[in-house]
Chain A
Amino acid sequence: MNTKIKYFFKLFIILFIFLNSISNVSAQELNISVSPPITEILMIPGKETVQTYTLTNGSDSKLISIDIVPFLPDIENPEEIVINEKDGLIQSKTYSSWFSIEKPEVVFGQKFNLPSNSEQNISVKISVPKNAILKDYYFTVLFSIEKANSLISENSLQTKAQIGSNILITASEKEDVYKASSTVLFSSPFIIDSLQKIDFKIILENTGRGFGKPIGKITIENLITKKTEVLDLAPLNILSSYSREIYCLKSEEIVPCESSPKILIGLYKSTLSYNLDSESQIHQEETYTFAFPISFIVAVIVTIIIYKIINSKIKK
């Protein structure tokens, strides 16, 4: 009997290890990552710098090619990046003198092999020409990845992947680029239930000459108890002459701007204060929210009604 128990115990352990190892197997045919995801450059025209990207291939060997494409935010939805690959260095010559690949020894659009489960450092030289207009330039470095060999013998389709990393360049003769901003929208609901959170919508516009990040906070103050809560704004880039919805930052993560979950009762004054990078002016906006225990009152009313119904039935 003891031997049987030992046998089943061993079998159980083997099965456990086997099933555990199955869940760890990666079934990805393409698994690629790029670092850094964003590069911000302030540069005097005529100067140059080299940016190194690390491309990590976590799958079998792939063919890689590199292109750099100007991007602009979508007008209706500035979060969305719009690129037109026909404007890229391969297709167009507009920015061809601005970029070159230092390592590996390839040119833009040329395919090279990225071995399986390997890392490749790619160094891109960025040089803003002397005659460049002093303004912002936005690009996406696109790494195109495809299978080394793909034979087609049936009705099928092949998928390719492109992974991007953004470059924001401000061409400027001096370090202190003119920064200015304005508040397009700072709003919160006028009345909420006491169990709800106060959620804010913030849209800021960059009216300065270079891209910048709003640095600031929202202070929520109960006008009766004088207790306050502070929400930090996420320092998201707002491109020059564009507006963008701004969210909050909590533990290094972007989260919606909303008060922490607790019972809110009374009148709350929320103050948004921020400036854009080194902007001298500090912007302040206020909004008011009245928190009323609507659900509590409803619960009490329902309770009374139920009580009365039960009471009247008992009396009968």
Chain B
Amino acid sequence: MKKVIKLLILLSFTIFLFFSIEKQILAQGVIKSDNYEIQMPNLNSGAGIPSSTNFGIDSTIGQTASGLFSSTGYRVKSGFQYIHSIIPFSFSISKLAIAFGTLVPGTPKTDSHTLTVSAGGAGGYQVKAFENNPLKTFNNSSTILDTSCNTSCDEETAGEWTSDSKYGFGFNVSGDDIPGDFTNDGFFRQFADISTSEIPQIVMSSIYVGRSREALITYKVNVSGIQEAGIYTNFITYIAIPTY
């Protein structure tokens, strides 16, 4: 009989624990909108309220009033319908010039900057990157090739690049919404080279709300002893686009 009582006590204790866990989960389940920076640059007219037979949603600001389409020949809606205000899409880069200084053969040089994207509450975004060409001297006489990492990597797939005897130019990305192949800060990719018709590749992207999403881009260059002396440079372009 005592055993049964003990078992029941233990069982009650387990049940109690079970419900305690549940309470903790409930406490985390609240999602709220933060304060928005609201701008309404395009108040064309009063907004309509689109609806269908069974469902209705709030509308955005735009030229949507009934009958206007037939008179003007167009209907315009600006911003995302599920947000009551038009929230700007923002993109920032902490610094525009990346300096490697003097390159010493077999001694990798790195520099980095931070990309920040803010899409307010307006859903997803993507940031793509490409280079105009690999690092070249001003007169195009010499090139530092894009890295092949320790074994292999390209503009679509990162590879580990830790060996100082592997030369080239590449980048690593860490932080929010980054591609999964950048496993750690030792993994690098080439930039898509637009001069050889390579397609710009995603360095940050999200399908959900993007609010001050940050990624650190680290550039790395390593040259061999036979690399021609000179000042090497190129242009990297980042394209930040909100979702549709």
User: Which listed residue, B54, B123, B131, touches A254 by the CB 8 Å rule?
Assistant: B123
| Count of interface residues, chain A, beta-carbon cutoff 8 Å | 100
The answer to the question of B97 belonging to the interface, with a C-beta cut-off of 8 Å to chain A, is yes
- A254→B244 contact, CB < 8 A: no
- B54→A234 contact, CB < 8 A: no
Distance in Å from the Cβ of A92 to the closest Cβ of chain B? 15
Alpha-carbon distance between A175 and B63 when the two chains are bound, in angstroms: 13
- A168 proximity list for chain B (CB < 8 A): 244
- B99→A40 contact, CB < 8 A: no
Alpha-carbon distance between A252 and B209 when the two chains are bound, in angstroms: 10
Using an 8 Å CB-CB cutoff, how does the interface string of B36-60 with A read, 1 for contact, 0 for none? 0001011000000010111111000
Using an 8 Å CB-CB cutoff, how does the interface string of A139-165 with B read, 1 for contact, 0 for none? 010101011001011111111111111
Alpha-carbon distance between A113 and B99 when the two chains are bound, in angstroms: 25
Alpha-carbon distance between A195 and B19 when the two chains are bound, in angstroms: 10
Distance in Å from the Cβ of B232 to the closest Cβ of chain A? 5
The answer to the question of A28 belonging to the interface, with a C-beta cut-off of 8 Å to chain B, is yes
- A157→B54 contact, CB < 8 A: no
- A31 proximity list for chain B (CB < 8 A): 90-92
Q: By DSSP majority rule, is chain A's interface helix, strand, loop, or mixed?
A: strand
- B78 proximity list for chain A (CB < 8 A): 36, 38-40, 51
- A155→B231 contact, CB < 8 A: yes
- A43 proximity list for chain B (CB < 8 A): 73-75
Distance in Å from the Cβ of B109 to the closest Cβ of chain A? 8
Alpha-carbon distance between A71 and B230 when the two chains are bound, in angstroms: 39
Distance in Å from the Cβ of B157 to the closest Cβ of chain A? 15
- A296→B52 contact, CB < 8 A: no
Alpha-carbon distance between A299 and B138 when the two chains are bound, in angstroms: 69
The answer to the question of B96 belonging to the interface, with a C-beta cut-off of 8 Å to chain A, is yes
The answer to the question of A273 belonging to the interface, with a C-beta cut-off of 8 Å to chain B, is yes
- A156→B89 contact, CB < 8 A: no
- A40 proximity list for chain B (CB < 8 A): 62, 76-78
- A303 proximity list for chain B (CB < 8 A): 10-11, 13-14
Decide: A277 near B50, CB < 8 A? Known: A161-B240, A307-B6.
yes
- A277→B237 contact, CB < 8 A: no
> Of residues 286 to 306 in A, which have CB atoms within 8 Å of B's CB atoms?
295-296, 299-300, 303-304
Say which one of A5-13, A99-107, A198-206, A210-218 lies at the interface with B: A210-218
Tell me the nearest residue of chain B to A161, going by C-beta. B238
- B50 proximity list for chain A (CB < 8 A): 215, 277
The answer to the question of A285 belonging to the interface, with a C-beta cut-off of 8 Å to chain B, is no
Decide: A307 near B10, CB < 8 A? Known: A235-B82, A275-B53, A299-B17.
yes
Query: Which A positions have Cβ atoms within 8 angstroms of B?
Result: 27-44, 46-49, 51-54, 56, 58-59, 73, 79-83, 121, 138, 140, 142, 144, 146-147, 150, 152-166, 168, 175, 195, 213, 215-217, 234-237, 239, 245, 247, 249-256, 260-263, 273-275, 277-280, 282, 295-296, 299-300, 303-304, 307, 311
A-B contact pairs, 13 of them (CB 8 A): A33-B88, A33-B118, A36-B42, A40-B78, A58-B92, A79-B124, A142-B239, A154-B100, A166-B244, A215-B50, A252-B84, A279-B52, A296-B15
Query: Which B positions have Cβ atoms within 8 angstroms of A?
Result: 3, 6-7, 10-11, 13-15, 17-18, 21-22, 25-26, 28-29, 31-33, 39, 41-42, 50, 52-57, 62-63, 69-70, 72-84, 86-103, 109, 113, 116, 118-119, 121-124, 126, 131, 135, 138, 199, 202, 205, 207-209, 219, 221, 231-244
Sort A-B residue pairs by CB-CB distance and give the 10 closest, nearest first: A47-B73, A33-B90, A164-B241, A35-B88, A33-B88, A37-B242, A36-B78, A54-B41, A31-B92, A37-B89
